[in-house]
Amino acid sequence: MNKKRPVNLDISTISMPVTAIVSILHRVTGIILFVGLVFLFYAFDTSLSSQQGFDQVVDVLQTSFLAKFVVWGVVSALMYHFVAGVKHLFMDLGHFEELESGRAAAKANLVIAVVLILLAGVWIW
């Protein structure tokens, strides 16, 4: 093993390709969805427990900025994860496997996800 290889320990100088960013974000949104389901299941359970529980959940979702933000975050993660998942399904079929088409698909993934996330924000607020 050559000990004279250059070692770059400054992470801020490493540039990630867009395909890597899309892949990492797909994994991160999967984790966000997993954690976010705890809050959604709690709200669902509370809303089904009684009429007062339902009214409480509706009131919190209509008045609390934090609740709307959490819901928007989970919906945003779902939108991104869905779009990236569809891109991965196309890749499983043999499309977007070349370097240039993969970059174009990753950029399209980001654009479509941003549009859907903004629309979700308008819908929630």
Which conformational region is residue 6 in: left (phi greater than 0), alpha (psi within -120 to 50 degrees), or beta? beta
What global pTM score does this model have?
A: 0.84
Residue the block writes with tokens 């709200």: 43
Tens-level pLDDT at each residue, the chain (125 residues) = 667 777 777 778 878 899 999 999 999 999 999 999 999 999 999 999 999 999 999 999 999 999 999 999 999 999 999 999 999 999 999 999 999 999 999 999 999 999 999 999 999 98
User: Residue 17: its pLDDT value, please?
Assistant: 92
Q: Phi and psi of 110, rounded to 5°? A: -65, -45
> Domains in the chain, please, with CATH?
25-124 (1.20.1300.10)
d(CA 48, CA 46): 5
Query: CA 20 → CA 17, 25, 96, distances in Å?
Result: 5, 8, 14
User: Residue 125: its pLDDT value, please?
Assistant: 85
- Least Cα distance to 23 among 112, 122, 109, 125 occurs for 109
User: Residue 2: its pLDDT value, please?
Assistant: 65
